Amino acid sequence: MDYVKGRRRNQVVHQVTDAQPSLSEDIGRREKSYLIKMGIRTICLILAVVVPLPWPYRLLFIAGAVFLPYIAVIGANERSKDAPPPTFQSPEANQSEIPLHRREIGS
């Protein structure tokens, strides 16, 4: 038993917190953030139009309704630092076909 206990102490233990989040988790987080910001924008728009408020408050809600979509899109397109890099397929990967712009008549 002492040998087993001693051996366990020398093993390398990987923690789950060291793992990067999956791409689907990252996309889900960004979608949720976008939907929350757009929900706040909708509330600002409704408050600016429906509720009778003094002009300074109404302008604040209008500014929120105008600028929140920009902020939401920028936040949704920003990947987290721990997210895996996106993968793209290269159009040059299939070299067996002649590209359309290089084809000649009669070949």
The span from the CA of 76 to the CA of 86, in Å, is 15
What pLDDT, in 10s, does the model give residues 15-61?
666 667 778 888 888 899 999 999 999 999 999 999 998 999 999 99
Supply the pTM of this predicted model.
0.58
Position 32 scores a pLDDT of: 94
What pLDDT, in 10s, does the model give residues 18-29?
667 778 888 888
DSSP labels, 21-50: PPHHHHHHHHHHHHHHHHHHHHHHHHHHHT
The span from the CA of 34 to the CA of 51, in Å, is 25
